[in-house]
Amino acid sequence: MTQEAGDPDGPQSLKGGGGSREYMSGFARGRVDLDCESCGFNMRRDTDFGTEADGSHTERYCSICYAGGAFRHPAATVDEFLALSIEEFALARKSAAGKLRLTMKKDLPRLPRWRK
């Protein structure tokens, strides 16, 4: 009886930390940010995600790395990958290719696609 103190909002506000509805509204399918397993790009919008052969989105890779069910830059190593893709990433991220390459060369080996 003592729990029912007449504050129906109490238990709810404890749960979600508030604002969860507003948070979700930015994601068409309720997805939260995920990092591409190939380039580390933080994907938030539907258009950030790569597509499978059937046109559905994958949560594993971004649209630059993966489209139509296949990697857009087939590569066995990070170096090969960057050689093929760095200009595109530089454009997409509005970064200088040289600087971006250094960052990605350092970060990419930790990602699932490149981890041995």
Q: How far is the CB of 40 from Zn ion (least distance, A)?
A: 7
Cβ proximity to Zn ion, 1 vs 53, nearer residue: 53
Q: How far is the CB of 88 from Zn ion (least distance, A)?
A: 10
Cβ proximity to Zn ion, 62 vs 78, nearer residue: 62
Q: How far is the CB of 113 from Zn ion (least distance, A)?
A: 9
Residues that bind Zn ion (CB under 5 A): 36, 38-39, 41, 62, 65
Cβ proximity to Zn ion, 73 vs 102, nearer residue: 73
Q: How many CA atoms lie within 13 A of 108 on its CB side?
A: 21
Residue 49 and residue 62 in contact, taking contact as beta carbons nearer than 8 Å: yes
Cβ proximity to Zn ion, 12 vs 42, nearer residue: 42
DSSP 41-98: -EE-SGGGEEE-TTSPEEEEEETTTEETTEESS--SSHHHHHHHHHHHHHHHHT--HH
Residue 69 and residue 53 in contact, taking contact as beta carbons nearer than 8 Å: yes
Q: How far is the CB of 89 from Zn ion (least distance, A)?
A: 8
